[in-house]
Structure 1
Amino acid sequence: MARKLFGTDGIRGRTNAGVMTAATAMKVGQAAGRHFVRGGHRHRVVIGKDTRLSGYMMESALVAGFTSVGIDVIMTGPLPTPAIALLTREMRADLGVMISASHNPFADNGIKLFGPDGFKLSDAAEAEIERLMESDIPLVPAEKIGRARRIDDARGRYIHAVKDSVSSEIRFDGLKVVVDCANGAAYQVAPSAIWELGAEVVALGVTPNGININDGVGSTAIAALQAKVVEEGADIGIALDGDADRLIVVDEKGRAVDGDQIMALIAGRMQDRGSLKGGGIVATVMSNLGLERYLAGRGLDLVRAKVGDRYVLEAMKAGGYNVGGEQSGHMILLDHATTGDGTVAALRVLASLVRSGKPASELLHVFDPVPQLLKNVRYESGQPLENAQVKAAIAEAESQLAGKGRLVIRASGTEPLIRVMAEGDDKTQVEQVVDTICEAVRAAV
């Protein structure tokens, strides 16, 4: 059965419009609860959220849905997505739920589901939950309705876990770190974890008000962080997104460092220590050709998965890899987390900075990227990639780049966008190819 509601990262959309309503959330709770009722034990779900205003509404609706089918609910309040995955596993819960639309604007929200092992659900499991949502789900008798309660120590549990991801002898004394939490889920835990390890922390994006998440701050809007790093004379800047499962770094000169460079750094240092598994890493079709060439020079493979950290994770598990991620900043370090964790990745970068004694601008420039250009074209309806003129433009571009570069055209799994990416050694050719395809898509829509 094809999924209708679930995209590459759960269910996502504009709140109080389309699918992202309280009614949908309650139905998700009922269907997911019914799906995970297995055995005679008392079942429980862990529910976390980011800082969006709509999180209160979605949380209440999910609680109603889960309790109506007999599931006990544990609410954590605002916490990063990886924290919910961790707590689901640690608390022996039957499933976990994160209410977040990640890097999207505040008016959007989403629902991400985790199984009892802390991993995101498979396509098949999501399809089964959708099937249940379309049916009449039996409710439990009054005496079996679930209970709901909040826990107060969730933040401390997560901070302890992320600090354990670096060696116990590592301290960040002497480092000045600007930490931008996007006014999102990590606004308390990320600065605290880095400060507890000894760094001087300058915090940005830590005053959420329900509507300012990702608004001019965070990993998708790093200008404020870049300026602050230079202004403060900081050693490095850390940018997380709204649910803190991705990381972008800024060096001491204010220059951005993307996920490809971060993966190259982490993989190389792990290879040197003999802790890298699988003989390489997993990234996506969007990762730069320069990363692939760098890894090949170290005798390592780059396995490319579809865009979406769920697909990166699937390839990691299938091939026995323990490092994977996306150029956009999702970092999956399977030795420490079951999903992308920007804070864990940030601590690994800071630990490398301490060990190397090098400035961030030198340490984090691991390889020379190949010229790459990504542009997005928004559309309202239809399937632009099925248009004959668009297909012809793509075919011509592939012919031009044959043997000299790569072309990746895809529809976004989270927004109504066509993403057009090309890379190659000839920057002018790359720009021309992308612009030509974008114009064809615009004409089609």
Structure 2
Amino acid sequence: MFTRRQILSASAAAAVLPGAVACATMPGSASPTGFVRREGVSFTLNGKPYRYTGANAWYLPWLGAAADYGDNARLGRELDRLKADGVNNIRVSASAELSPLTNSVRPAFRDRGTDYNETLLVGLDRTLAEMARRDMKAVLYLTNFWEWSGGMMTYLHWVNGGRYINMNDPAHPWPEFADMNADFYRSPEAVALYHHYIRAVVGRTNTLTGRAYRDDPTIMSWQLSNEPRAAGDLEKVRQNQPAFLTWVNSTARLIKSIAPNQLVSTGSEGLKGSGERAEIVADTHRSADIDYVTTHIWPGNWGWLDRQNMAGTHANAKAQTADYIAKHVNIARGLNKPLVIEEFGYPRDGDLYDPSVPTTMRDDFYETIYQAALNDARAGGPVAGTNFWAWNGEGRAAHPDHRFKSGDTAWLGDPPHEPQGWYGVFDTDTSTRARIRTHAAAMRALTV
């Protein structure tokens, strides 16, 4: 574990980042202000409803790093664009494991040892400081079920003698990757390494502001993982659910013990990551230490949308999306917890990747989700926020085939295992950004 704890004084930090949000205490209350709270099916912020329009931008700490792969000026520009569009919540990766898996991102936050990558951690520090200046909230996930940031398969690789499976390896068709990954939850050695990293990051002090992470209201929620699931095959999901729930609940308790003022969430896809069983989704989110329900929506990955016939299957994709949201609203109501639609993505017209390609059907898909969220929020329901996947901003694919290659620093919201430009929103996507702005204004109107 890194031992550097030399930080700037509070006064010096204020001089460097004069817009950083202070963590104050309300008169007569022991609870600090500025933190998002959960009250039944709602979030609150300083006693008022908190509903938000958000984005995913996993790569922001890489931009924030003072290194050849960083771009601090671009970090500020991207946050300014998002702020201008009404985005006030960003889901960011706070982990990446140095991995032998194909398409896993480098550099990473950690290797198998406990001497973590301070350069990238300072990139996370800078991301949080810059978000605080813009009055934005962060959701930080702490590992990944998938291979593109190393994730659980890499933890297993570190403790099982070097064995691993690459996602999409023809020699190991689905669900072999997911089923092997589920061994992570039953590996005390792998979970111990993961928990060590959590203690280091959740217990970290920001080197730029001097504020302990646990005292920073910029952090809305710590997330156990990106898209954790008990397994791929339904029967294995059932078999692994006890170990999975032990991991969920013990990790949530650990985070709460370090950062009791911040929310904890799973990062789950919901039904699609739970064998399509509502009772499994509910059990995953039942713990009192899990503050809200999450769901992700991917019509082009799940067969609702035929990407070779987008026009002919678009209506079906929208209908399935509306039904999927309604099912998760029911689950959240049953648990008396908020619901966040924290990932949703749709291809550009023709399933092409270049920024010049129109986004007609994507815009309509976004409208479907935004309208469902707004209607539910107006009715006092549990849908508290949305985070589209993902913000590409000024990032552009570095290669004609739109594929990420090791060493690339043209960071996009489309992660390294996917075509660059597939689902991400570019700064030039004016029609999509207009829909985001309109929805953000409607959601803000519900909080005053």
Q: Same fold (TM over 0.5)?
A: no
- The structure whose residues are more often strand, as a share, is 1
Q: Bigger relative contact order, structure 1 or 2, given CA contacts below 8 A and separation 6+?
A: 2
TM-score by length of 1: 0.29
TM-score by length of 2: 0.29
